[in-house]
Structure 1
Amino acid sequence: MSKAFLKAISYYLPEKVLTNEELVKEFPEWTVEKVAKKVGITERHIAGQEEFVSDMAVKASEKLFDEHKIEKEEVDFILLCTQSPDYFLPTTACIVQDRLGLPTKTGALDFNQGCSGYVYGLALAKGLIASGIAKNVLLITSEVYSKHMHQSDKGNRTIFGDAASASLISTDGFAEIGEFEVGSDGSGHEDLIVKNGAMKSSKKSVEGETDMDDHLFMNGAGVFNFTLEAVPALVKETLAKNDISGVEDVNWFVFHQANSFMLNHLRKKVGIDKENFLMHMQTCGNTVSSTLPIVLKEHQDKFKNGQKALLAGFGVGYSWGGTILTFS
């Protein structure tokens, strides 16, 4: 079976920045220090009014091609992870293929996965390469969660930021992609949801009225409890799938960057040393499916030949996924 490798990563953040100082002006019952301490985020990037998932996906991909000297003709499949697509249909990945000027023989697929999306995307890309369907997969994550949120929702607005990432998964690269552990528990689907808009609840609020079901809802306590139960088991099973005896045999851990409070609880519960636990969310927030590639990109200079990193994505769905990267 053909091996699959992570070959290159780039990411894009929108120009507009929303700082804690600006949020506190809107919600004076909070302080800058309280927000920073609670979620570990000081600022987040917000897509412009006329900036959407396809726009950010194209910008991240163009950065990937430019930074890593990748020829567009090399790409033969696009996988685009998003929960805030430009349209119900057509597939946003098809729009991105055209805007990037990729060959029309390029396959294009959207998948709606959220916080575990990057790991699921790596699994899908590895499958395409292993089966001989593709040799170079452009894996894109792009979210404009800010457009799902209500202006009065101070909780979610402090946490989430908009971003896009682009990764090339290929038959060679700087990190071999290992075996996967994935799972789902749809009984918790209402804990992180936008209820209105699709076919089951397609009504829209009339002009002048506000229906909070039109916007992102998160049951923070429910999500927190889910992660405390699911993630330690995910780590254990991911290690087992890759024939690794314990956390002490892994050099780096890259978890979905939900918020610092949750991550510190998880790190301690799993028994991971702080110096092996990589984070990068303070200046970009929780960027949903883009958190893992952003952390990998920001810490790439740390990765040495033969070292291993465990990736863990978890959240909306509920869904979760883990894998091991072995660096070369």
Structure 2
Amino acid sequence: MPFINAISYYLPDQSLSNENLNEVFPDWSVDKISSKTGISNRHIAAKDEYTSDMAVKAAEKLFSEHGISPSDIDYILLCTQSPDYFLPTSSCIVQARLGVPSTSGALDFNLGCSGYIYGLNLAKGLILSEEAKNVLLITSETYSKYLKEDDKSVRTIFGDAAAATLISADSNGLSARVARFALGTDGAGAENLIVKNGGSRNPGLKPELFMNGPDIFAFTLKRVPEVINRLLEKNGMTLENIDLFIFHQANKYMLQHLQQKIGIPEEKHFIFLEDCGNTVSSTIPIAMHEALRQGRIKAGMNVLLCGFGVGLSWGATIIKY
């Protein structure tokens, strides 16, 4: 049975505070931005800092903080929607820079806010099929490079980050056993959160992110309760069996509405986005790391993870420490 054995994350040095945003958007006060989003600060990749750079830094932190050797890794999964190049895959670049053995597998997969859940699902499959013993799952995103300067709806929310997770066949200390998954896809909503330019369909144009906030909000309130009910049924559990809920950290407004609709007690709902914002596929591992650091996760606890967003795509799983 696969186990999550370690998590580390990296935030760029450059930051974008609510005070900085208020200077650009005077009609949105510092307090208004904070109350609507739950975010006070976001970390932004430097102009010469890219997805592979942040992925390497997150992985190096994982190795140093948890005493892991690159030689222990036999598969790299890199989740990103802002790769360094169309080809080669960023995971190949990361493999070489980290010194992971050339006998290891490495691939990128393109998913956003549900990406961490899908990555755990892929890692579990690799381990159960005995194709890998130690999978390095990296989430790394530089959405800031896609954001329009005058679009406050996205600039107030998104930040850049990378996270690295070790998923192994054997447990090590306070590990988390990965249970069954519930997943979903609805590509009919693809244009509600999209970067249309820069790919082969619209080449030569500057990539810019578009988000239909109201439709994404409606999608989330519909799909997340459904997938949680399906997940609990697949795992033979009820809502009361879950000790902590960690959702994709979209924004405080959305998370509070989900909490109320699902009926999650305040003490079981973990939120961590004030100092980093919505970091897309890295929000869940960052929140898990912080929940562990704060003592909100203890041995014997069942933790429900759920990601949702661009695709449209969503997924959930339960991990037991």
Q: Report the equivalent of 1:235.
A: 228
Q: Does 1:247 align with 2:239?
A: yes
Does the Cα contact within 8 Å between 1:280 and 1:298 map onto a contact in 2?
A: yes
- Equivalents in 1 of 2:70, 2:205: separation in Å? 40
Q: Report the equivalent of 2:209.
A: 216
How many angstroms does 1:150 deviate by? Answer: 1.0
Does the Cα contact within 8 Å between 1:292 and 1:311 map onto a contact in 2?
A: yes
Q: Report the equivalent of 1:209.
A: none
Secondary structure of the 1:124 match is helix
- Can you give the 5+ residue segments of structure 1 that lack an aligned partner in the other structure? 206-213
Runs of 4+ in 1 over 6 A off after TM superposition: none
Does the Cα contact within 8 Å between 1:39 and 1:261 map onto a contact in 2?
A: yes
Q: Does 1:257 align with 2:258?
A: no
Q: Report the equivalent of 2:316.
A: 322
Q: Does 1:305 align with 2:299?
A: yes
Among all aligned residue pairs of Structure 1 and Structure 2, give the percentage whose two residues are the same amino acid.
Answer: 56
Secondary structure of the 2:42 match is strand
One of 286, 289, 306 as aligned partner of 2:281 = 289
Q: Does 1:226 align with 2:219?
A: yes
- Equivalents in 2 of 1:250, 1:161: separation in Å? 29
The superposition leaves residues 262-293 of structure 1 with CA deviations (integer Å, 9 ceiling, x where unpaired) of 00000000000011001100000000000000
How many angstroms does 1:92 deviate by? Answer: 0.3
Opposite residue 40 of structure 2, the aligned amino acid is: T
Superposition map of 1:8-47 within 5 A: 8-47=6-45
- Equivalents in 2 of 1:56, 1:296: separation in Å? 19
Opposite residue 229 of structure 2, the aligned amino acid is: K
Secondary structure of the 1:200 match is coil
How many angstroms does 1:182 deviate by? Answer: 0.5
Does the Cα contact within 8 Å between 1:256 and 1:312 map onto a contact in 2?
A: yes
Residues matched between the structures, number: 316
Secondary structure of the 1:302 match is coil
Secondary structure of the 2:59 match is helix
- Equivalents in 1 of 2:87, 2:263: separation in Å? 44
- Can you give the 5+ residue segments of structure 2 that lack an aligned partner in the other structure? none
The superposition leaves residues 151-198 of structure 1 with CA deviations (integer Å, 9 ceiling, x where unpaired) of 111110000000000000001231000000001000000000000111
Q: What TM-score do the two structures reach when normalised by structure 2?
A: 0.97
Secondary structure of the 1:102 match is coil
- Equivalents in 1 of 2:48, 2:183: separation in Å? 35
How many angstroms does 1:307 deviate by? Answer: 1.1
Q: CA RMSD in A?
A: 0.7
How many angstroms does 1:238 deviate by? Answer: 1.0
Does the Cα contact within 8 Å between 1:6 and 1:172 map onto a contact in 2?
A: no
Does the Cα contact within 8 Å between 2:246 and 2:271 map onto a contact in 1?
A: yes
